[in-house]
Amino acid sequence: MQLKLTARHEHLDDSVRKYAERKLAKLDRRLNDLTLVEVTFSQEHNPSIAADHTVDAVIHTKGPSLVAHESATTYEAAIDRLVDKLERQVERYRDKRTLEQRRRSPHAAPEPGSDATEAPPSESVA
């Protein structure tokens, strides 16, 4: 897993950066090594917004991109909530890729009850 941490309009403390890396390392077990995870930190400057620390994450997978967005009073709390959301999404994504059978075209699979080895009856002209 390749992790890209970005702070928007401010500088990110090393303690928050290390905390995010440690928490997001949980996803490393479930994702491919080449999967890119982009995490963006931002802070609202409006004093009337209580949950002003926002963390966004996008996981670029082989199929769909998984997106999560979370706000809280501190970055640490937002990261905890974000990781919970991402774990659920990654688990669902992996289950779909491994457990769900691929859809087959109707001509590829014979119908149950019909014998595909029999030749169709030919008409004889007398």
| pLDDT tens figures, 55-78 | 999 999 888 899 999 999 999 999
pTM check: above 0.85: no
State the average pLDDT over residues 42-60.
Answer: 91
Q: CB–CB of 76/43 below 8 Å?
A: no
Grouping H, G, I as helix, E, B as strand and the rest as coil, residue 99 is: helix
Residues belonging to the chain: 126
Q: Helix 14-24 vs helix 75-99: angle between axes, to the nearest 10 degrees?
A: 20
Note whether 42 and 8 are within 8 A (CB).
yes
Q: Which helix or strand (DSSP H or E) is residue 20 part of?
A: helix 14-24
